[in-house]
Amino acid sequence: MPEQHKVVLVTGGSSGLGKAICGHLAAKGHTVYGTTRKVSEQPINYRLIVMDLGDDASVRHAIHEVISTSGRIDTVVNNAGLGIQGATEDLLPEQATALFDTNVIGAHRVVRAVLPQMRKQSSGLIINITSLAANFGLPYRGFYSASKAALERYTETLSMEVKPFGIHAVTLQPGEYKTNIGSNRIRPAVIGEAYKAGYGRAMELLGGSLHYSRDPVEVARLVERIMGTPRPKTVYYAAHGKQRLAVLLKKLLPGRFFQRLMMLEYK
């Protein structure tokens, strides 16, 4: 058992980053619940429970299950999320709405369901997994950047509102990690002729970047570190090299210059 045993809920515990976070924290002796829309097989050291982020009742039911089984809930990692690709003009409003409903409103549903318990405990930690993409508009992934930027600003406000109750809310921005996110991305039904070449090049680059995608366990270790910090920072980065540098350049460079660099990267 770790010195400070915690009850942790990780949304999207069936795959990728969430699975790594669940496995790692459970191995460290915490009580971990991961969520999925459909339980196909129970992992060895943590429990998967059903939660559909798009359904308020499903979210409330899952949170109730954690609290009634473990008596409390110390840490929530809002990790479940979707990707999207496509030229902005090609993507339908319904597709963008579906993305925001999972990546932003889904996290909000979870937050609303856990806060009454955390306020009762006078403690709690909410870690919202955003992305480095929150810092800039990525070509052909604009709605993804927009959804993660929205979750950043949402968390910034939330953090100030819940601090008086002894609750911390922070974001964690990963760079590229090896997960299933690529296969689950929302895609345009029709790729417009005008964007075919640019979109194709961007997707080639994205596919190629899998080579340097990193092991999700790095993110899991960072989550563990945040949980052990009495006064956490507002934003954490899990990124290296060129990806981490881009965040710094975005802050320092004039906008047009930064966009030129980004377009050079995307040829």
Ligand X SMILES: NC(=O)c1ccc[n+]([C@@H]2O[C@H](COP(=O)([O-])OP(=O)(O)OC[C@H]3O[C@@H](n4cnc5c(N)ncnc54)[C@H](OP(=O)(O)O)[C@@H]3O)[C@@H](O)[C@H]2O)c1
Distance CA 46, CA 107 (A): 21
Find the part of the chain contacting ligand X (CB under 6 A) among 61-69, 119-127, 154-162, 172-180. Answer: 172-180
Q: Smallest Cα–Cα separation from 114: which of 162, 173, 44? A: 162
Q: Sort residue 26 into left (φ over 0), alpha (ψ -120 to 50) or beta.
A: alpha
Q: Does 14 bind ligand X (CB under 6 A)?
A: yes
CB of 182 to ligand X, least distance (A): 8
Tell me the site size for ligand X, rule CB under 6 A: 27
Cα distances (Å, whole numbers) of residue 126 to 1, 80, 199, 206, 263: 22, 13, 36, 30, 35
Amino acid identity, position 101: D
91 in helix, strand or coil?
coil
Q: Does 145 bind ligand X (CB under 6 A)?
A: no
Catalytic residue among 140, 144, 154, 236: 144
CB of 188 to ligand X, least distance (A): 19
Q: Sort residue 8 into left (φ over 0), alpha (ψ -120 to 50) or beta.
A: beta
CB of 156 to ligand X, least distance (A): 17
Q: Does 155 bind ligand X (CB under 6 A)?
A: no
Q: Does 52 bind ligand X (CB under 6 A)?
A: yes
Residue 46 annotated in active site? no
Q: Does 117 bind ligand X (CB under 6 A)?
A: no
Q: Does 142 bind ligand X (CB under 6 A)?
A: no
Q: Does 74 bind ligand X (CB under 6 A)?
A: no
Partnered with residue 167 across adjacent β-strands are 124
CB of 162 to ligand X, least distance (A): 21
- Which position among 177, 199, 220, 247 is part of the footprint of ligand X (CB under 6 A)? 177
Distance CA 152, CA 167 (A): 17
Partnered with residue 125 across adjacent β-strands are 75, 168
Active site residues: 144
